[in-house]
Amino acid sequence: MSPPGVRVPAVAADGLRRTFRRDTGEIVVALDGVTLRAEAGSLTALVGPDGAGKTTFLRLVAGLMAPDAGTMTVLGIDVAREPQRIQDRIGYMPQRFGLYEDLTVQENLDLYADLHGVSAADKRRQYPRLMEMTALGPFTGRLSGNLSGGMKQKLGLACALVREPELLLLDEPTAGVDPLSRQELWQIILHLVAEQRTTVMVSTAYLDEAERCGRAVVLHQGKILTQGAPDEIARLADGKVFLADPPAGQTARGLQAHLLGAQAIVDAVPEGGRVRFIRDGAADARVDALAQVAVAPAQPRFEDGFMTLLRRAGDSRPASVVTLDKPPERQGDGVVVEVRDLVRMFGNFAAVDHVSFEVRRGELFGLLGPNGAGKTTTFRMLCGLLPVTGGTLRVAGVDLRRARASARQRIGYLAQRFSLYGDLSVVENLEFFASAYGLRGGRKRARIDWALRQFELGDLARLPSRHLPGGYKQRLAMAAALLHEPALLFLDEPTSGADPLARREFWQRINALTEQGVTAIVTTHFMEEAEYCDRVAILDAGRILAQGTPAEVRAHARRQEGREATMEDAFIAIVEEARAHGHPEAGAA
């Protein structure tokens, strides 16, 4: 115990190390020599790729695990020795929110209030405040399992806040949540820090969220790469960040793909019709890819600093570009997918409400929207997995639900979650899907070799696929979907839950495929990923609110102070406008 009057840091970690044993027997180091402190009243972000150790760190703070070595002191208490004393005083929201889905909103709140010993008087004072903050007031009687993703997350937060904790830990609170809910959540967090001096520690995969925090800690493979104020970290990329205008005849994503492949370029992403890129150390080095391109220096952001750091840490550049053996013929630009007034009801609830769009050959079409907007339902109908309630759809000229099984030969489908056989090895999975698509003999062997080579899976061919690291699972799933060289790809939230590096790698592959003539339909809730698409449709509550090229959609939003409007600004503007015109949120219906 520290003497009174001396300010103790809220969290002080010293030389933390924590390992796990996989069922295969190998030892994985989750945290390795982590030392950091968070002052009382501060807001700290933990960022880093998948498997960097963010969740493990938060669990160590919460006393849910003991470190193998090093010490963790929280609120002046040694966590390993007295975890209960910490747990009496902090609020914690795990990745899966920890809500009981068969309890109502009110019952969940009551449960946590009673567990935290909140008195009746305090409840009377706290509940209205929490309800106002989270806008859950009208839904107190609803089972929390029936809430939308954003509402679940706000309820989870409310449960962690019932007792006004001294320290609040949030583990990826915004994963898979729509931009509006994300914005609302951050307003709550910032308010807590400003008004109540709550110490908050939050892990996130959204790099723009780290910018809102007082401090950011960048974790990578269990080690701290750097920590400091987000703008300090952004400054690591000072003078190296530029915006390029694609020359006439080239799309932004075309130029971006080109740049990513070039030497001396750390990172490139499409942004508002231009390409944002980071040059390597030597700022004056010639880059051939930029010969014809108008380039303007740009203000570095946290993301730029983060990418620079990761590159420096030796994470290899995503170099994988898929080359098809036999690219589909690019004859004309006929309509490949046609959807007219598509409706899908679940009981009284319209999951998809008169959706219409079409996709042409060779196009990369994006369906954007928050969780529960109806993207996956639309997809399942397109793939013939779900009968339609109304409207018509044509995929390559047929309705896959009624067409002969062989019609499915032409499509590839990548489900939202990793959905290959976890017990089977990489190569066994590939063999099974090759046979399922009717490949035999030499052709089958050739295609499997192709897949192992293209997706750099050769070294892992014998590993059971459930033991693959996250990014490799995604590669295997894509390889399996491409074995039979489909002309049309359905990709359902392929980047959900992936870290920034894996997401870049994925888009690079898709880009390469569409360049070779494959038609692809992609759903995503990362708004900025719309920039990769030829055309996008924005879905909310089962309805299409806007569709067109990224530039057309972006035009819905006004220019924000000091910067171009982003796709996220556009989304928020469009949804708010639609709701103002009387289309209530799906969850509020």
Partner 1 sequence: MNGAAGLAAKLRRIRALVRKESFQIVRDPSSMIIGVLMPVMLILLFGFALSLDVTSVPVAVVLEDPSPAATDLAAGFRLSPYFNAHYTTSMETARAMMLDLKVDGIIRIRPDFARQLALGDAEVQIVVHGSDANRARLIEAYAQGAIAQWSARRASAGQPVTTGPVAVQSRIWFNEANDSHWFLVPGLIVMVMTLIGAFLTTMVMAREWERGTLEALFVTPVRVDEILWSKTLPYFALGMVGLSLCFLAAKFLFFVPFRGSLWVLTGASMLYLLVALGIGLFISSAVKSQLAASQLTLVATYLPALMLSGFIFDLRSTPLAVQAIADVFPARYFVSLLQTVFLAGDIWPVVLPEAGILLGMVVALVAANRFVTRKTLA
Partner 2 sequence: MSQPLVDSLWRILALVQKELLAVLKDRKSRFSLMVPPILQILIFGYAATYDLNYVPYAVLDQDRGAASRELLAQFDGTGIFQRVANLDNASEIGKTIDDQTALVVIQIGQDFSRNLALGRPADVQLIADGRNSNTAAIASGYVATIVDAFNAQWPANHGQTGPPVATAMRAWFNPELETRWHMIPSIIGTIVMMMTMNLSAMSVARERENGTFDQLLVTPFRPAEIMIGKAVPAMFLGLTQSTMILLVAQLWFRIPFQGSVLTLYAGLALFLIAAVGVGLFVSSIAATMQQAMIYIFVVIMPFALLSGLTTPIDNMPLAFQYLTLINPLRYAIIIAQRVYLEGAGIGLLIPDLWPMAIIAAVTLSAATWMFRHKVA
Residue identified by tokens 């894509």 is 478
Q: Which is nearer to partner 1, 100 or 421 (CB)?
A: 100
Give the nearest distance from C-beta 86 to partner 2 in angstroms: 34
CB 521 within 8 A of CB 490: yes
Interhelix angle 149-161/120-134, rounded to 10 degrees, is: 150
- The stretch near partner 2 (CB under 8 A) out of 78-86, 181-189, 236-244, 407-415 is 407-415
By CB atoms closer than 10 A (0-12, 13-18, 19+), residue 278 is buried
Does position 398 bind partner 2 by CB under 8 A? no
Pick from 3, 117, 141, 314: which binds partner 1 (CB under 8 A)?
A: 117
Measure the CA–CA gap between 416 and 418, rounded to whole angstroms: 7
**Residue 99 β-bridge partners:** none
Pick from 84, 423, 442, 580: which binds partner 2 (CB under 8 A)?
A: 423
* Neighbour order of strands in the sheet with 223-228: 90-93, 167-171, 199-204, 43-47, 215-220, 223-228
| Residues 6 or more apart in contact with residue 375 via CB below 8 angstroms | 367, 368, 369, 492, 493, 523, 539
Pick from 45, 46, 77, 92: which binds partner 1 (CB under 8 A)?
A: 92
Give the nearest distance from C-beta 405 to partner 2 in angstroms: 4
How does DSSP assign 35-73, residue by residue? EEEE-TT-EEEEE-STTSSHHHHHHHHTTSS--SEEEEE
Tokens (6 digits) for 191: 């308010």
| Residues 6 or more apart in contact with residue 267 via CB below 8 angstroms | 260, 277, 278, 304, 307, 308, 311, 504
* Contacts of partner 1 in 25-84 (CB under 8 A): 59, 62-66, 83-84
Measure the CA–CA gap between 260 and 501, rounded to whole angstroms: 12
Tokens (6 digits) for 71: 């010490």
CB 218 within 8 A of CB 232: no
Give the nearest distance from C-beta 230 to partner 2 in angstroms: 37
* Contacts of partner 1 in 155-184 (CB under 8 A): 156, 159-160, 169
Residue identified by tokens 């030389």 is 15
Does position 114 bind partner 1 by CB under 8 A? yes
Give the nearest distance from C-beta 372 to partner 2 in angstroms: 15
Q: Which is nearer to partner 1, 67 or 471 (CB)?
A: 67
The binder of 405, among partner 2, partner 1, none, by C-beta within 5 to 8 A per type, is partner 2
Does position 409 bind partner 2 by CB under 8 A? yes
Does position 343 bind partner 2 by CB under 8 A? no
Give the nearest distance from C-beta 413 to partner 2 in angstroms: 4
Does position 413 bind partner 2 by CB under 8 A? yes
- The stretch near partner 2 (CB under 8 A) out of 30-38, 63-71, 145-153, 434-442 is 434-442
Give the nearest distance from C-beta 433 to partner 2 in angstroms: 7
Pick from 103, 143, 386, 574: which binds partner 2 (CB under 8 A)?
A: 386
Give the nearest distance from C-beta 375 to partner 2 in angstroms: 15
Residues that bind partner 1 (CB under 8 A): 59, 62-66, 83-84, 87-88, 90-103, 107, 110-112, 114-117, 143, 156, 159-160, 169
